[in-house]
Amino acid sequence: MKRSYTIDKNQDGITISTPLRGYDVLYQPLLNKGSGFTQQERKTFGLEGLLPPHVSSLDEQCQRMYESVCKKEKKLAKYMSLISLQHRNEVLFYKVLYEHLEEFMPIIYTPTVGKACEEFSHIFRRTKGMWITPNDKGQIKQRLQNAPSPDVRLIVVTDNESILGIGDQGAGGIAISVGKLSLYCIGAGIHPSHLLPISLDVGTNNEKLLHDPLYIGYKKPRLTGKEYDDLVDEFVEAVKEVYPRALIQWEDFRKQNAYNILDRHKENALSFNDDIQGTAAVALGG
């Protein structure tokens, strides 16, 4: 797959290079700086005439976005505003989150993200992350190669069955993976290009979703037994081959599946389950 950008690291920091020009640059959330592009950058990337004339500082952009989010009265509306920003300008998203972390952490993650999972098919605007379904059996490696970054280091994957305290949320569970990785980025300083949220969308037993005409997930009852195990096994092997440096975090799997997956792959994959091992580690740490 031809990548839309490359990232190089050296002692001077991170350099992002791209062959993209014009609107294609603005449509890449990791490249887009909005009104923050300098005059020279606008000339270099063919953006002259595509942006308002004023070159905004990051602080100015942050204040503008903060005011916009604060005008939303409902928490879900604030969530949608912030996620929409993440989809178009990741640098600004993390700047806003960093400056207002205590205020916005409960918006992009618990408790508000639970409502976002429930309403996912009705508030969906733009994709982030990847979906693997039973239709991808035998092709999961090729699907992972379509991810935007060639150097994924951390994957948060969910099968959407035990989302927070609200149970089976089908395709909407990926909002948990997106939110968790956003916290890792802002809290641990992991570059966004190293992060990949994934939904193992093996179906849903949530009757409300199965009968929702707007539901955007794999609209069949959940895969179980050997078929489920085989899909997870193929996923693990594909991750190891495509992203050999990646850690897999299993998120919000049903208890029995969670333990089975850990047991099956404890010797052959770099992975952990946050609900089991993460919770235990925090408890032991005091």
23 is catalytic: no
**CB contact burial 252-285 (16+ within 10 A = b; e otherwise):** bbeeebbeebbeebeeebebebbeeeeeeeeeee
Cα–Cα distance between 22 and 145 in angstroms, integer?
26
Cis, bond preceding 244 (omega within 30 deg of 0): no
Terminal-residue alpha carbon distance, the chain: 46
**Of residues 33, 180, 218, 228, which has the active-site annotation?**
180
Helices (H), the chain: 23-26, 39-44, 58-70, 75-88, 90-99, 101-108, 112-118, 120-123, 140-144, 174-188, 207-210, 225-242, 255-265, 279-285
98 is catalytic: no
**Of residues 33, 79, 95, 109, which has the active-site annotation?**
109
Q: Which residues are catalytic?
A: 109, 180
